[in-house]
Chains A and B, each alone.
Chain A
Amino acid sequence: MKHYILKGVSALAISAFGIGASADTIVLGAAVSQSGKYSTNGQHTMNGYNMAVDMINAAGGVMIDGTAHELAIKYYDDESTPARGAELAERLISQDGVKFLLGPYSSGLTKAIAPVTEKHGVPMVEANGASRSLFTNGYKNLFAVLSTSEQYLASSITLLDEIARASGRDPSSMTIAMAFENDPFSQDIRAGVMDDAAKYGMQIVIDDKLPKDLSDMTPTLTKVRALKPDLLVVSGHSKGAATAIRQINEQNIYVPMLAMTHCDSADIIGKFGAGAENTLCAAQWAPTLTYSDDLMGTAAEFAASFAARYDYAPPYQAAESAAAVMVFADAFTRAGSTDQAAVRDALAATDMQTFYGNVLFDATGKNIAKPMVLYQVQGGALKVVGPTQWAEAEIVHPRPQN
């Protein structure tokens, strides 16, 4: 453990004085939240970045045109505020002379930084901005390794369709209740659910927007009790997940199927124990998936070495952040130089498998090769139940009524 801490410190030291420290060091810049409301997830992001950088350097660095280059990261704290993030991106590029950027945490921060990197022609690989509105502006230098927000809960609708058919019911007779926070990210997830529901002709009986400073969703749940939908989908970051589980149990709300996002970051299992049972949770990645690469090994091996290094199991935010660094390293090698335009073109042509999933960017820069997975809380653990290809357990449906 100590060894790793020292290593981490030396990596930080390199990053702090890294500019021009060695001709063979490539410095990646990153404004990540170390204070403010995203500080927890910002830490996951930095841990993922640092681990990938150290592993790549330990394995001999990045080969560019026959010479090995070390990677280093220069961090700033964006204080979880978009304006600060944009300011720091400008500073990284204009003052510190950083030529490549890693993304910040959250869609909001990414949205603030993307115009800056675009203006300067600085390629940015990001791992924590999933809002689909990031990819509708024609940005040429923005690449995202994660699945975009409209895919988050769409798989639960597909699952509902499968269940309806299996039980001999018409999918169009299925009813859905939705409660999404009123922010761009959650509303994107809502749009994805609406599209898929329309595809199967399912009926949306509740469509509530939860306020940002949400602490109570009683009125929505009262409606759920009266209308008895077949599926309730909730998304409102970790606060929404925790509030929903607490109040669904406290108010004796029963739905046969309950799907939500942010179960793991809200730690609903640790907080509510049996109260979280049978909830479906969307995730970008799971350690049980069968992806692998030469550097990190399989998804499970990555999880084990991450846990050994940081003393906690990697949330998907850390995994996708590590993958972003690997995508950069791969692009440097293929570009054969550190010229920004060449690296950008190499990034656009990325087609690789990492422990995190396949990476293949479409013209807008989003990764189209990796689906979302759907967990279910079973016996106090998260088990992948969808897509069927990776399912490690069968879905419990309908949720037993207590």
Chain B
Amino acid sequence: MAANKGDFPVENIRANISLLTDYAPVINLELIIIGLLVGAIFGLIAYGMALVWGVMNIINVAQGAFVILGGYVAFFFTGAMLDLMPGSPRILWIVLSMIVAAFAVGLFALIVFRLVVEKVLEKDLFVSLLATFGVELVMQQSMNQIFTAEERVLDAQLQTFSFLDHMVNIPGSRALGAALGVSAAIILVIVVRYSRFGRAMRATAQNPRAARIMGIDTRQVYERTFALNGAICGVAGSIVAFVYILHPFQGLIYTLRSFVIVILAGVGNIAGVIFAALGLGIYENYAGFVLGPEFQNAMVFIIVPIALLVRSAVLRRKRQYLK
């Protein structure tokens, strides 16, 4: 059954498909549920990226590094609190660590905005890509120096829920992560839609010049948007800490994944982000199962040109074009 190195593992794929269709169809359910839970976490990160992209026209390459930073803040906060108050409920600190991480990374993003991002506002997209890529590199190396290259995990010590004769298992940590991610996203949607700041943000996104004429301090809107994105990454990072693994160089995958999600949803389509993320989560899980994990990332990226082609074809029929 095992294929040689370099061969496309056709035999494996056939076996994996038969596993899904004949042998244990109930696995499908687990793949779908886990996919949704994974998607919810990535969706939150992508949401922040979509905000910055849509409002400021900046693709924040440092998104993943922000997430990892948030994870470290949550990791050390929870550890310190448990040391300080042994026997206190772990889950309480884990939930609180989200808020701490949100503030910490939000503040950090504010500093990054003043030092770097502000200078490249309304410049060519390429300039801001380079600038945020630089921020990513500096953050990676600094985190490596400060926190060392050791992998860190936060153990939420939550139960796993088993259904259908132990064939479908939902880890409590992932369920909690997804629940927190979704609630954070809902709060965000409400803020963007109904608050004064949200209105100013949308106005700036539509037309910064007109917004300025109407008396909106666009610089402040940009600053707050970027800080808000930092806070989102902080929350996401604290989830990553107890669902996945923290490592100073692990950030880029979160940047790339959210990039794909934003492209799939369509830039400017903030509400679409969460659906794109959930869909991608399921799709990715299936790709990993059927083709093997080595093709999982490739299958995620392959979907970008396909989505763009399809969308541009649809738009052309309406005599519109892809921006």
Chain A interface residue bracket vs B: 35 or more
Which residues of B have CB within 8 Å of A204?
1-2
Select the stretch in A136-144, A222-230, A299-307, A367-375 that faces chain B.
Answer: A222-230
Find out whether the CB atom of A208 lies under 8 angstroms from the CB atom of B292.
Answer: yes
Interface of chain A residues 6 through 52 with chain B (CB within 8 A): 35-40
Select the stretch in A93-101, A237-245, A340-348 that faces chain B.
Answer: A237-245
Find out whether the CB atom of B149 lies under 8 angstroms from the CB atom of A38.
Answer: yes
Which residues of B have CB within 8 Å of A297?
none
How far apart are A257's CB and chain B's nearest CB, in angstroms? Answer: 19
Which residues of A have CB within 8 Å of B166?
252
Known contacts A207-B2, A215-B250, A243-B245; decide if A222 and B296 are in contact (CB<8 Å).
Answer: no
Find out whether the CB atom of A207 lies under 8 angstroms from the CB atom of B3.
Answer: yes
Known contacts A207-B1, A216-B38, A226-B24; decide if A35 and B141 are in contact (CB<8 Å).
Answer: yes
Interface of chain A residues 198 through 220 with chain B (CB within 8 A): 203-205, 207-211, 213-220
Find out whether the CB atom of B149 lies under 8 angstroms from the CB atom of A222.
Answer: no
Among A36, A210, A211: residue with most chain B CB under 10 A: A211
Q: How far is the CA of A244 from the CA of B261 in the complex (A)?
A: 26
State whether the Cβ of B293 lies closer than 8 Å to any Cβ in chain A: yes
The residue on B at minimum CB distance from A203 is: B1
Find out whether the CB atom of A239 lies under 8 angstroms from the CB atom of B289.
Answer: no
Which residues of A have CB within 8 Å of B21?
none
Q: How far is the CA of A271 from the CA of B9 in the complex (A)?
A: 35
Q: How far is the CA of A242 from the CA of B166 in the complex (A)?
A: 23
Which residues of A have CB within 8 Å of B153?
242, 246, 271-272
Q: How far is the CA of A5 from the CA of B171 in the complex (A)?
A: 47
Find out whether the CB atom of A39 lies under 8 angstroms from the CB atom of B245.
Answer: no
State whether the Cβ of A396 lies closer than 8 Å to any Cβ in chain B: no
State whether the Cβ of A294 lies closer than 8 Å to any Cβ in chain B: no
Interface of chain B residues 38 through 91 with chain A (CB within 8 A): 38
| Binary CB contact string for chain A from 263 to 278 against chain B (1 if under 8 A, 0 otherwise) | 0001100011101000
| Binary CB contact string for chain A from 175 to 191 against chain B (1 if under 8 A, 0 otherwise) | 00011001000010000
Find out whether the CB atom of B296 lies under 8 angstroms from the CB atom of A242.
Answer: no
Find out whether the CB atom of B27 lies under 8 angstroms from the CB atom of A250.
Answer: no
| The residue from A216, A223, A243 contacting B16, defined by CB atoms under 8 A apart | A223
Find out whether the CB atom of A239 lies under 8 angstroms from the CB atom of B151.
Answer: yes
Q: How far is the CA of A270 from the CA of B289 in the complex (A)?
A: 31
Q: How far is the CA of A207 from the CA of B16 in the complex (A)?
A: 11
Find out whether the CB atom of A250 lies under 8 angstroms from the CB atom of B1.
Answer: no
Known contacts A35-B144, A272-B155; decide if A217 and B293 are in contact (CB<8 Å).
Answer: yes
Which residues of B have CB within 8 Å of A216?
38, 244, 288
State whether the Cβ of A194 lies closer than 8 Å to any Cβ in chain B: yes
State whether the Cβ of B167 lies closer than 8 Å to any Cβ in chain A: yes
The residue on A at minimum CB distance from B292 is: A208
The residue on B at minimum CB distance from A225 is: B167
| The residue from B19, B245, B252 contacting A226, defined by CB atoms under 8 A apart | B19
Which residues of A have CB within 8 Å of B1?
203-205, 207
| The residue from A40, A250, A252, A272 contacting B149, defined by CB atoms under 8 A apart | A40
Which residues of A have CB within 8 Å of B289?
219, 222-223
| Binary CB contact string for chain B from 179 to 221 against chain A (1 if under 8 A, 0 otherwise) | 0000000000000000000000000000000000000000000
Q: How far is the CA of A39 from the CA of B143 in the complex (A)?
A: 12
Which residues of A have CB within 8 Å of B245?
215, 239, 242-243, 246
How far apart are B312's CB and chain A's nearest CB, in angstroms? Answer: 30
How far apart are A41's CB and chain B's nearest CB, in angstroms? Answer: 8
The residue on A at minimum CB distance from B38 is: A216
Find out whether the CB atom of A220 lies under 8 angstroms from the CB atom of B293.
Answer: yes
Q: A35-B144, A207-B3 are known contacts; what are 7 more A-B pairs with Cβ within 8 Å?
A: A37-B249, A211-B297, A215-B253, A219-B289, A220-B288, A243-B244, A267-B150
Residues of B that sit less than 8 Å from A by CB: 1-3, 5, 9, 12, 16, 19, 23-24, 27, 30-31, 34, 38, 141, 144-145, 148-151, 153, 155, 160, 162, 166-167, 169, 171-174, 244-245, 247-250, 252-253, 285, 288-289, 292-294, 296-297
A selection of 6 A-B contacts at a CB cut-off of 8 Å is A214-B293, A215-B253, A218-B38, A226-B19, A239-B151, A252-B169
